Amino acid sequence: MDNINVTNKLNNNNNMNNLKSKRFVIRQSLIGKNVTIEFTNKKGVTHTYNHDKAYNIMKANLAKMACFIKYKSYTATNNIPVVLRNVELV
């Protein structure tokens, strides 16, 4: 498993999911759920991103990746993917 802790917070009567992870992750099971993910890489740098925004930017590339096709998941341990750097993801 991805060592992800799930916390549900009530915000203006809307259920908002926040995940904390040790790595960047895009999962097919999280698409459309407006999940905000925070991960800290090995260097201690913390990144926060909206899963749906990241997925929409990466969608074309993910559709070609064997890991996403087979496991319905994409992870990166050390940093966010290059295509997402310098992009507003929250």
pLDDT attached to residue 90: 87
pLDDT for 61-72, tens place per residue? Answer: 999 999 999 999
pLDDT attached to residue 3: 46
pLDDT attached to residue 9: 37
pLDDT attached to residue 67: 94
Residues contacting residue 1 through CB under 8 Å, at least 6 positions apart: none
Token pair 């930017």 is at which residue?
Answer: 57
pLDDT for 1-53, tens place per residue? Answer: 444 544 443 333 344 589 999 999 999 999 999 999 999 998 999 999 999 99
| b/e burial code for range 32-68 (CB count within 10 A of at least 16 → b) | eeebbbebebeeeeebebebbbbbebbeeebeeeeeb
Q: What are the boundaries of each domain within the chain?
A: 5-84
